[in-house]
Amino acid sequence: MPEPSAQRVRIRDVALAAGVSAATVSHVYNGRGRVSERTRARVKAIGDRLGYQPNQTGQALRLGRTNVIAVVASFRDPRVTEASFMPCFRNILAGAALEAGAMGLAVTAGRAGVDGQITTTLSYDGIIVVDPMPSDPVVERALSLGRPVVAVGGYDERPTARIQQIRLGIRDALPAYLDTIADGDEEVRPAIFVGARLDHFTNDAIAGFQRWCARRGITPRGGALEPGESLDDAATRMLPGALPPTVVHCMNESFSAAILRAAERAGLDVPGQLRVTTVGDPGGLAAQHGVDYFATDPFRNGSLAVKAMAELVSGETPADLLLELPSVAVSASPSSYRLA
């Protein structure tokens, strides 16, 4: 068959080259109609060779979709968000945007109110919610409106709801790390440093920490950022002059940076006298020297969330994901790190 001469390849050009009807080509690209696998593969191959690009907007309208996914952070105090959460959220958003583009989708960043209502400039098919709280109003409102949700950080068990969880395995990773430390030290005084907002990921960390302390017969120590308090002031409270902790687990790199500054003011050597752990990217340019990382990749998490949302929107039920958090020790430079 002759190749079409026009620059923009149309559906009838593919039909002509494949020797089928335009309706058949439409069924192939829309995933509708009864088309044999052999014909479907041949039409797709010819379409790829000709450079045919299906009209995503038209397909979305026919399917009753927007092909847009909203990515939102569960409601939180703006000051705390800017200080400690936004770097992670930006990486999740970037990973989501890149994956969505590869799938012919788009993402829009939304802002959540305390009532769970989302403000965004575009209509959307579903919502990726980052770090939701138990019974989170953002998640509950979305589900009540019939929109699917991907919860990055985990959520309450909802067997019949259109929701998929992407949990980070801190509940098991933190006790395993503390076992390693306790087996090599005569005395371990562990503490956990968290924010004022107890989202699912934070609750998982606290549960794992408390379980380990109970198993070892150790009194758990902890500190939470109080409303209006700076990270530096809270970190100073975490390191009292008499019998300070020997290990402090921090929820992210903003918290661990504050502990490092407090340790320097208190004259505590890290990691000699005080081990500091955090959740983040040990290979990043801002990796903190002497800190033990529970390694996570927010960019990848955003990509996984989009893949899960695409399945939910298509009517599938993807399995929940539990992502392991390997422990990595950062030594002399951001490019020099090893498994702890």
Q: Which domains does the chain have, with CATH numbers?
A: 11-54 (1.10.260.40), 68-168+298-323 (3.40.50.2300), 170-296+327-339 (3.40.50.2300)
pLDDT at residue 83 in the model: 60
pLDDT mean over 307-330: 89
What is the length of the chain?
A: 340
* C-alpha–C-alpha distance, residues 62 and 222, integer Å: 54
Predicted confidence (pLDDT) per residue in 170-219, tens digit: 999 999 999 999 987 678 999 999 988 899 999 999 999 999 999 999 99
Question: What's the Cα-to-Cα distance from 68 to each of 91, 108, 124, rounded to whole Å?
Answer: 18, 7, 5
* C-alpha–C-alpha distance, residues 251 and 216, integer Å: 22
- Output the CA torsion sign for 213, 214, 215, 217: positive
* C-alpha–C-alpha distance, residues 308 and 322, integer Å: 13
pLDDT at residue 84 in the model: 67
E-assigned strand segments in the chain? 68-73, 106-112, 118-119, 126-130, 149-152, 163-168, 190-194, 221-224, 247-250, 275-280, 292-295, 321-323, 327-330, 337-339
pLDDT at residue 27 in the model: 80
CA torsion angle 133 135 137 142 (round to 10) = 110
3-state secondary structure of 200: helix
pLDDT at residue 7 in the model: 60
- In this structure, the strands spanning 163-168 and 190-194 are unpaired
Burial call 111-145: b when 16+ CB within 10 Å, e when fewer: ebeeebebebeeebbbbbbbbbbeebbbbbbbbee
* C-alpha–C-alpha distance, residues 234 and 211, integer Å: 24
Tokens standing for residue 47: 């379409």
User: Which one has a higher pLDDT value, 3 or 212?
Assistant: 212
pLDDT at residue 32 in the model: 62
pLDDT at residue 244 in the model: 92
Looking at residue 91, its amino acid is N
3-state secondary structure of 58: helix
Predicted confidence (pLDDT) per residue in 227-239, tens digit: 888 899 999 999 9
pLDDT at residue 253 in the model: 92
Reported as a pLDDT band with limits 50, 70 and 90, residue 295 is very high
Q: For residue 323, is pLDDT > 90?
A: yes
Locate tokens 């700076």: which residue? Answer: 230
pLDDT at residue 275 in the model: 96
pLDDT at residue 76 in the model: 66
Q: For residue 337, is pLDDT > 50?
A: no
Predicted confidence (pLDDT) per residue in 25-84, tens digit: 878 877 666 788 899 899 989 988 888 877 655 555 555 567 899 999 886 665 555 566
Reported as a pLDDT band with limits 50, 70 and 90, residue 334 is very low
For 142, residues 6+ apart whose C-beta sits below 8 A from its C-beta are 116, 118, 126, 127, 129, 148, 149
pLDDT mean over 267-294: 92
Per-position DSSP letters for 151-193, written without gaps between them? EET-----TTSSEEEEEETHHHHHHHHHHHHHHH-S---EEEE
**pTM for this one?**
0.78
